[in-house]
């Protein structure tokens, strides 16, 4: 069974500082996708960043980057130069790479607070 674990229910960061959110997952598959989704208060969940397991290079999207450690099954999210708008719930998610089934497995989320 695929499971995703986010061990930090809550995190806080000072504005303009850097914060890292952790995520580990359990799978026997070799090809899969990993995602970080952001859910601001009372707003829609949106994709922050995506990583293909077959790519060794860590994905980056502006101030967001990941540290993907395939052997350790670890997928952490680093937010640089944190902004007030980064305050949200962050969910790590996993999906097997196969056509057809497109089911995402989510972690329990990390609530990020940004302190002005």
Shortest distance in whole angstroms from residue 66 CB to another protein: 15
Contacts of residue 65, defined as CB under 8 A and 6 or more positions apart, other chains included, come to: 49, 58, 59, 77, 78, 80
Shortest distance in whole angstroms from residue 106 CB to another protein: 4
User: With contacts defined by CB under 8 A, how many residues of the chain interact with another protein?
Assistant: 29
Contacts of residue 14, defined as CB under 8 A and 6 or more positions apart, other chains included, come to: 82, 114, 115
CB atoms within 10 A of CB 33: 16
User: Taking CB under 8 A as the rule, which mask of x and - marks residues 63-92 in contact with another protein?
Assistant: ----------------------------x-
Which of 63, 103, 113, 115 is in the footprint of another protein by CB under 8 A? 103
Range 42-61, binding another protein (CB under 8 A): 42-47, 50, 52
The first and second tokens of residue 72, run together, are 């350790």
Q: Is the dihedral of CA 110, 61, 33, 73 positive or negative?
A: negative
Q: Name the site residues for another protein (rule: CB under 8 A).
A: 4, 9, 33, 35, 37, 42-47, 50, 52, 91, 95-109
């Amino acid at each position: 069974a695929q499971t995703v674990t986010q061990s930090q229910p809550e995190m806080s960061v000072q504005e303009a500082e850097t914060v890292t959110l952790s995520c580990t997952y359990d799978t026997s598959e070799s090809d899969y996708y990993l995602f970080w989704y952001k859910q601001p208060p009372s707003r829609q969940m949106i994709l922050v960043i995506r990583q293909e397991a077959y790519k060794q290079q860590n994905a980056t999207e502006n101030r967001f980057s990941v540290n993907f450690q395939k052997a350790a099954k670890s997928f952490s999210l680093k937010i640089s130069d944190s902004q007030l708008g980064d305050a949200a719930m962050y969910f790590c998610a996993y999906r097997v790479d196969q056509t057809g089934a497109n089911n995402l497995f989510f972690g329990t989320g990390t609530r990020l607070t940004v302190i002005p």
